């Protein structure tokens, strides 16, 4: 499973190779649906201490032609000199494996994607010795998928779309379509559904899109035992094994729901040491209309 936003943007191609054909199609490069995909070492270092590593390298075996290597790089911003590294990766991999090499750069914003498209030349005095043409997947060519049926049929492409358009006005609609599709998928393939939920959660993180995802998922149990604010807060409290952990969870649910928490209410919650009562408050924090209503119902 991916462990960071940078990893997720390239490793999804390795872990979910079904995404390759639709992405290639968006880039205008034909690739049959029947392909073999094998991970190749990403170490392209020839001498130490110089260290060069491609994010992901895959050996693609299409059913309609010869094998080739696909080097995949995740790029969050323009980095001076990166184009020289890309040219090196392509040349080194071709020389080592004696196979054609394509370079795919995955970006999350238009300015980075525009720069990454290149082409990047190496030459002097009017003569070009080498030219690098990366394929670039980003907001301008990855589709905006807001239809639930389409999202369900193309989960990998849909979550990549959510990342690519995380800063656009379409983000919320994409996330709603994807989460609804994941709810349907959970019933027949919970492992796949959980993978993509984790992928979105990790990659969107604490960004505005990540907060929107949490809001959408907060009070609907798409995934039994996880995903809702109440469930998350409860588990955090149990892990701490202390009343203050439960109290923190109650306050967190109220705050996420946008309910005002007066100082006296906050003090009463944080001062409580009765775990059963705190657990009851935690259960009800997701449905009360005001923070004060927690106490009224409990006392009644």
Looking at mean pLDDT, say which of 3-12, 43-52, 113-122, 191-200 comes out highest.
113-122
Mean pLDDT value across residues 258-279? 85
The pLDDT tens digits for 203-227 are 787 888 888 888 887 654 444 444 4
Closest CA to 137 of 103, 109, 178, 105: 105
The pLDDT tens digits for 15-73 are 888 888 888 888 888 888 888 888 886 665 554 444 467 788 899 999 888 999 999 98
Question: Angle 73-201-236 (CA atoms, 0-180°, nearest 5)?
Answer: 140
pLDDT of residue 117: 92
pLDDT of residue 48: 47
Query: Is the per-residue pLDDT at 107 higher than 90?
Result: no
- Comparing 169-183, 237-251, 281-295, the range with the smallest average pLDDT is 237-251
Mean pLDDT of the chain: 81
Contact present, 30 and 37 (Cβ < 8 Å): no
Mean pLDDT value across residues 70-97? 90
- Bridge partners (DSSP) of residue 109 are none
pLDDT of residue 47: 46
The alpha carbon dihedral of 291, 205, 141, 183 has a sign of: negative
Query: Is the per-residue pLDDT at 104 higher than 90?
Result: yes
pTM of the model: 0.64
- CA atoms within 13 A of residue 294's CA, in its CB half-sphere: 28
Cα–Cα distances in Å, from 45 out to 18, 93, 213, 289?
Answer: 30, 11, 39, 60
Query: Is the per-residue pLDDT at 116 higher than 90?
Result: yes
Mean pLDDT value across residues 148-157? 88
Nearest-angstrom CA–CA distance, 68 and 82: 23
* Alpha helical stretches, state H, 218-288: 229-240, 243-256, 263-271, 275-284
pLDDT of residue 2: 46
Neighbouring C-beta atoms of residue 160, cutoff 10 Å = 26
pLDDT of residue 76: 82
Residue owning tokens 């009343």? 243
The pLDDT tens digits for 159-193 are 888 888 888 888 889 998 998 888 888 878 888 88
Query: Is the per-residue pLDDT at 5 higher than 60?
Result: no
Query: Is the per-residue pLDDT at 150 higher than 60?
Result: yes
pLDDT of residue 43: 64
pLDDT of residue 236: 53
> Which one is predicted more confidently, 15 or 102?
102
């Amino acid at each position: 499973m991916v462990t960071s936003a940078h990893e997720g943007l390239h490793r999804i191609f390795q872990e979910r190779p079904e995404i390759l054909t639709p992405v290639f199609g968006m880039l205008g490069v034909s690739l049959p649906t029947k392909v073999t995909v094998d991970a190749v070492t990403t170490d392209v270092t020839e001498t130490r201490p110089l260290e060069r590593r491609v994010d992901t390298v895959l050996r693609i075996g299409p059913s309609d032609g010869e094998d080739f290597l696909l080097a995949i790089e995740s790029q969050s911003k323009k980095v001076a000199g990166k184009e020289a590294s890309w040219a090196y990766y392509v040349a080194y991999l071709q020389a080592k494996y004696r196979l054609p090499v394509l370079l795919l750069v995955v970006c999350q914003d238009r300015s980075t994607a525009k720069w990454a498209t290149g082409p990047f030349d190496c030459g002097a005095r009017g003569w070009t010795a080498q030219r690098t043409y990366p394929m670039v997947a980003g907001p301008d060519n990855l589709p905006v998928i807001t239809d639930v049926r389409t999202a369900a049929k193309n989960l990998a492409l849909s979550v990549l779309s959510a990342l690519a358009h995380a800063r656009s006005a379409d983000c919320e609609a994409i996330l709603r379509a994807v989460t609804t599709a994941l709810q349907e998928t959970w019933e027949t393939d919970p492992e796949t559904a959980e993978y993509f939920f984790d992928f979105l959660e990790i990659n969107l993180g604490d960004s505005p899109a990540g907060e929107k995802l949490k809001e959408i998922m907060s009070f609907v149990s798409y995934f039994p035992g996880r995903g809702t604010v109440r469930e998350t807060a409860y588990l955090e409290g149990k892990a701490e094994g202390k009343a203050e952990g439960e109290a923190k969870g109650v306050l967190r649910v109220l705050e996420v729901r946008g309910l005002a928490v007066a100082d006296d209410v906050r003090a009463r919650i944080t001062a409580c040491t009765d775990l059963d009562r705190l657990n009851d408050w935690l259960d009800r924090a997701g449905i009360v209309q005001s923070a004060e209503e927690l106490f009224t119902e409990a006392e009644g």
